[in-house]
C-alpha cells in the first residue's frame, strides 16, 4: 500500500508523519509526503528535524509539491486538516474515496486537525510529534487489520 501524507508546505507535519511511519518498517507499505503549497526542495523545518533526531529517526527530506503523479501513486492520502482534504478533493475529484484527514482515518471519524507548528518554538513541534506518533500508531493498527 502506498500512503501519502499531505500538509501545507511539506516542511513540518507531513514529513514528520512520513518519517514516523517509515520507522515502523511495515511490510508492503511505502510512504511519501507532499505539500499543497510546497516550495519544491525546501528543507524540513529545523525544529522538526531536531525533534525527529532526538527520537532517533533520521531522514533526508526535501519538500515535494503535491502533483498528479503523487496523487496517482497513492492508495491512501492522509491530510493534516479538513481544509487540505477538501482542497485535494476539489482539485482532484476522483480522489474522494482515498482522501481522509489523518485524524478522521485513525480516530474513526474525528474532524479535528493536527495543529500546525510552523513558526512555533520547539515545544510546539514536540507536541505535534507526540500527536503524530499516537495517530500513526492507530494507523498501523488499522493497516495490520486490513
The answer to whether residue 7 is catalytic is yes
**Percentage with pLDDT > 70 across the chain:** 100
> What is each CA distance from 71 to 36, 65, 81, 110, in whole angstroms?
11, 11, 17, 23
CA distances to 45, 49, 79, 94 from 122, in Å:
11, 10, 22, 38
Pick left, alpha or beta for residue 36 (phi over 0 → left; psi -120 to 50 → alpha; otherwise beta).
alpha
The yes-or-no verdict on residue 126 having pLDDT over 90 is yes
62 has a pLDDT exceeding 90: yes
- pLDDT above 90 for 141: yes
Grid cell digits, residue 99 = 482522501
- 109 pLDDT above the threshold of 90: no
pLDDT of residue 136 exceeding 90, the answer is yes
State the catalytic residue, choosing from 7, 12, 32, 85.
7
12 flagged as catalytic: no
Name the active-site residue from 32, 85, 86, 116. 116
Indicate the DSSP class of residue 75.
S
Q: Give me the chain's average pLDDT, please.
A: 96
Residue 58 above 90 pLDDT? no
pTM of the model: 0.97
Domains contained in the chain, number: 1
Which pLDDT band, with edges at 50, 70 and 90, does 117 fall under? very high
What lies within 8 Å, CB to CB, of 129 at 6+ separation is: 16, 20, 48, 51, 52, 55
Q: What 3-state class would DSSP assign to 121?
A: coil
Query: Is 116 among the residues known to form the active site?
Result: yes
Q: Which pLDDT does position 110 carry in this prediction?
A: 87
Query: What CATH number does the domain containing 101 carry?
Result: 3.40.50.2300
The whole domain housing 25 covers: 2-145
* Percent of the chain whose pLDDT exceeds 90: 93
Q: Which of 12, 13, 32, 85 is catalytic?
A: 13
Amino acid at each position: 500500500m502506498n500512503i501519502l501524507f499531505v500538509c501545507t508546505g511539506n516542511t513540518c507535519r507531513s514529513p514528520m508523519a512520513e518519517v514516523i511511519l517509515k520507522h515502523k518498517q511495515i511490510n508492503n507499505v511505502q510512504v511519501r509526503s507532499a505539500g499543497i503549497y510546497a516550495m519544491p526542495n525546501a528543507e524540513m523545518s529545523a525544529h522538526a528535524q531536531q525533534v525527529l533526531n532526538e527520537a532517533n529517526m533520521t531522514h533526508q527530506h526535501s519538500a515535494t509539491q503535491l502533483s498528479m503523479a503523487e496523487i496517482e501513486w497513492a492508495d491512501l492520502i492522509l491530510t493534516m486538516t479538513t481544509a487540505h482534504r477538501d482542497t485535494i478533493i476539489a482539485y482532484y475529484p476522483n480522489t474522494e474515496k482515498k482522501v481522509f484527514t489523518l485524524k478522521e482515518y485513525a480516530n474513526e471519524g474525528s474532524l479535528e486537525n493536527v495543529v500546525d507548528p510552523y513558526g512555533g518554538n520547539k515545544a510546539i513541534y514536540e507536541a505535534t510529534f507526540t500527536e503524530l506518533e499516537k495517530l500513526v500508531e492507530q494507523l498501523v493498527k488499522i493497516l495490520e487489520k486490513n
